[in-house]
Amino acid sequence: MLRLRREQKIFAEINITPLVDVMLVLLVIFMVTAPMIIQSGISVDLPRISKSKELPQADILISIDSRGRIFIDEKAVKLDVLRQRVRKALLTKRHGLVIINADENVKHGLVLKVLDAVKLGGARKLAIATRKAR
């Protein structure tokens, strides 16, 4: 009986090159898509003020266009059901920050009605978006 004996050492080292490749690809994908995801909503002409700070990421973005239509993110909503929609949306949000984008041609009374509905809906933090003056 003839036996062939091969002596091989087991080489036990983790190859992380494929892992690094996948992570870099995912990083690039998120860097490209993140600006598209952040702060969606309808386009409104915000009022300009001299000093304006960058607002943090909103949990809920409410927009009021120049015709007085109200939107939660990009979905139209009536003023009389805004409070219930805000309350329902805030159930899943951690910080409760609501940012209101109101067109500069919207009547002040409508903005106050929206603010009141949002507060009654349970928002703990409110902010009104503006643009920096040129």
Give me Rg for the CA atoms of the chain: 26
Q: Is residue 36 in a domain? A: no
Range of the domain at 70: 48-132
Maximum C-alpha span of the chain: 101
- At 17 the three-state DSSP class reads helix
Domain of 82, CATH number, reads 3.30.420.270
Domain count, the chain: 1
Q: With a cut of 70, list the residues of the chain below it in pLDDT.
A: 1-8, 35-55, 132-134
Q: Supply the pLDDT for residue 71.
A: 92
Say if 17 falls within a structural domain.
no
Tens of pLDDT along 9-32?
777 778 888 889 999 999 998 888
For residue 1, tell me if it sits in a domain. Answer: no
What is the structure's pLDDT at 61? 87
Quick check: is 11 in a domain? no
The pLDDT, as a whole number, for residue 57 is 74
Give the separation between CA 33 and CA 28, rounded to whole angstroms.
9
